[in-house]
Structure 1
Amino acid sequence: MILGFTIVISVIIISVGTGYAYALDYTYPTINQRLTEIPTYCAVESISNKIESSEMDEMIQKSEIAVNTWKQKLQNSEPTNKEFWDMKFKKISKNESVSEDCTITILFRDDPEFSGSLLSKTLGAFMRNTIFIYYANQESVYGDKWMDGILKTIMHEMGHTFGLGHYTTDDNDVNNKIATRDESPPSIMFAPAHINPDVRKITDLDVSQVRSIYGSYGFHAFSEQRPSEIIIENPTLPLDPEYPFEFTKISENTVKLFRHQDTLLKITGQVNNDLYMQGHHVFILITNPDLSTQVLKITPTRDGFFETFVNFNYKSLPGKYSMEFAYFEKIDESKNLTFEVEQTDIPLPSEIENLNILSVNNDAEQFFEMGLYADAIKNYKIVIKNSNSVIEPLYLNALNKIGLALIELRDYEKSLSYFEQVYEINPDYPDIEKNLENSKLLIFANGTPIEEKTELSVPGWIKSAAGWWISNQATDGVFIEALEYMQNKGMIGNYEFSNYSQSFVPGWIKQIVSWWVDGRVSDEEFLKTIDYLSEKGIIVI
Structure 2
Amino acid sequence: MFSQSVFAEVFIPSQEYVGYYDHEGVYTVGGNVKNQNDFALIPTISITVIDGKNTLTTTITHVTIPPRTDIPFKIKLPEITGDSPILLEPKLKFAKTEKDPLSIMILYDKTLIKHDDGHVTGRIINNGNQTIFNPKVLAIANGHEKMLDVVSNIEYIEKIEPGEIKEFSMYPDPSITEDIFYYSCFAPVDSTVIPISTKKNGGDFDFRYDSGAWYSAAKFNEEGTTLTMRGYNSYPLETYANFEFPQISGKEKFNVTLNDKPVHFIQSIDDMGFWHVAFTVGPTSQDILKITGFEKGLPPITSKIPQWIKTNANWWSTDQISDLEFLEGIAFLFEKGIISVPSKEITVQSNWKIPSWVKTASLWWSEDKISDDDYLNIIENLVKRKIILV
Query: TM-score, normalised to structure 2's length?
Result: 0.29
Pick the structure with greater CA Rg: 1
More strand by share: 2
Query: TM-score, normalised to structure 1's length?
Result: 0.22
More helix by share: 1
